[in-house]
Structure 1
């Protein structure tokens, strides 16, 4: 998969207000489906959100999961590993946050960070990276075999929009708390990160495919994510559990 061939904007044929109305309907559906999902406790759902800096991961979480029951949904952000985390295998810090049955767990960044930054910054060699692909595939297979449904989203934002959003973090007082000086340094390596993602899609995609989300427009990004999650839950045999005898 070549990201250069994929649009970062919504199809021009779509109407913004119409999609926003459809998104609200999807969010209402998600609220109801999650209630049954939590009560039934048959499966768990892991939502993996990856993307370049300023691709809109935080905003997507805030919007798409705004109406779900907080008892059945948690968010875990993965930042630079702590000294304790770095002293274990790279999946150690991730595994302990996988969802129990009935729960929806959202990863804001994830185990894929350990085949992104180390690859681009050359912290580890390519042999190690390739081994990590295998470990990730086995890890995700373990979760799947244990009843966890995994949805993986890559929020794809254009370079122009990415730089615009980072600039807003500098100038907008309400967004300045998000600004990290390293963001601009990272954008200079954009092509290397996109190349790393393409390799991830190739090695860690066939069994559990990625959804590439055009993310220049928040209204379309939110629609794609919500639609994918709702369709996935609707395909399950969800019903409230009966009386216990």
Structure 2
């Protein structure tokens, strides 16, 4: 993997600060070069996906988190466009339903995990429980957790335990064959403003904009603090965070695809070996077909 993409990985043993990263970083790439590179990368990912499906030993869980208008949907559409739909699945998590609130916060995400051989994409994820809920702690009260009947109870110790639950959850998944790739699409505040204006001014994009988006934008600093803490608390050796500069969508798409490709290559996947007995049966079947 090229150095400009390696630099996007947050090492769990080092403190990470969002203020120290550029949202418009593009490395040595320009738009045309990135477009050509992305085509080649998607072809390689497609070939490795076939081996992933055939081997049936691993699953890939790709997590996308970001502020509104950071480009999650378009990143998913572009990067995954070369995959076989039979081998991947996409889940977009909204506000929990009444049934989901009857279970612990990880339950609905467990149900959406990809089976071995498949790629699962989570558009937002269990991290909303330490992001949106961190900015709006009153949301936690909907979970009916014993002893948490007041927002004052949602304290530092509560969040410490929640981060621990997430680390344990992901560690368990990785130990059982799930490869976790976590992407935070880091869009700048000025770029978000421009994209919001485009959504308002373009009738074909009006549906993408909600009045609630502007209310959440007013809490930008609180969200950045929540993201920074979540990344620092949950970027581990087995499931590190990748902070993707998202002001230039073309670079974000390339960076994501290159990181996915690198992880697939490292799995050293191959098609299952056929036993000598099966080879003999195949030869026999071939003879029968040729004799028709």
Q: TM-score, normalised by structure 2?
A: 0.81
**1:214 aligned to 245, 267, 281, which one?**
245
Kindly indicate whether the alpha-carbon contact (under 8 Å) linking 2:26 and 2:251 is maintained by their aligned counterparts in 1: no
**2:112 aligned to 70, 93, 97, which one?**
97
In 2, Cα distance between equivalents of 1:185 and 1:214: 23
Q: CA deviation at 1:168?
A: 1.9
Kindly indicate whether the alpha-carbon contact (under 8 Å) linking 2:183 and 2:244 is maintained by their aligned counterparts in 1: yes
In 2, Cα distance between equivalents of 1:18 and 1:64: 16
TM-aligned CA distance change 1:88 to 1:174, over 3 Å: same
Q: Does 1:166 align with 2:166?
A: no
The answer for the alignment partner of 2:55 in structure 1 is: 40
Q: Larger deviation: 116-125 or 75-84?
A: 116-125
Residues 2-13 of structure 1: pairs in structure 2 closer than 5 A: 2-11=17-26, 13=28
Q: Does 1:182 align with 2:197?
A: no
In 2, Cα distance between equivalents of 1:8 and 1:174: 27
Kindly indicate whether the alpha-carbon contact (under 8 Å) linking 2:25 and 2:245 is maintained by their aligned counterparts in 1: yes
Q: Cα RMSD over matched residues?
A: 1.2
Q: Does 1:152 align with 2:182?
A: yes
In 1, Cα distance between equivalents of 2:113 and 2:28: 39
The answer for the alignment partner of 1:86 in structure 2 is: 101
Q: Larger deviation: 4-13 or 91-100?
A: 4-13
Deviations 1:107-128 (A, max 9, x none): 0000000111111112241232
When Rg is computed on C-alpha atoms for both structures, the one with the higher figure is: 2
SS of corresponding position for 1:155: strand
In 1, Cα distance between equivalents of 2:236 and 2:116: 25
**2:263 aligned to 232, 235, 243, which one?**
232
Q: CA deviation at 1:13?
A: 4.1
Q: Which has the higher helix share?
A: 2
Deviating above 3 A after TM superposition, structure 1's stretches of 4 or more consecutive aligned residues are none
The answer for the alignment partner of 1:223 in structure 2 is: 254
TM-aligned CA distance change 1:30 to 1:170, over 3 Å: same
Kindly indicate whether the alpha-carbon contact (under 8 Å) linking 2:54 and 2:271 is maintained by their aligned counterparts in 1: yes
Q: TM-score, normalised by structure 1?
A: 0.96
Q: CA deviation at 1:84?
A: 1.1
SS of corresponding position for 2:171: helix
Aligned pairs, number = 245
In 2, Cα distance between equivalents of 1:76 and 1:167: 27
Q: CA deviation at 1:20?
A: 1.2
Q: Unaligned stretches of 5+ in structure 1?
A: none
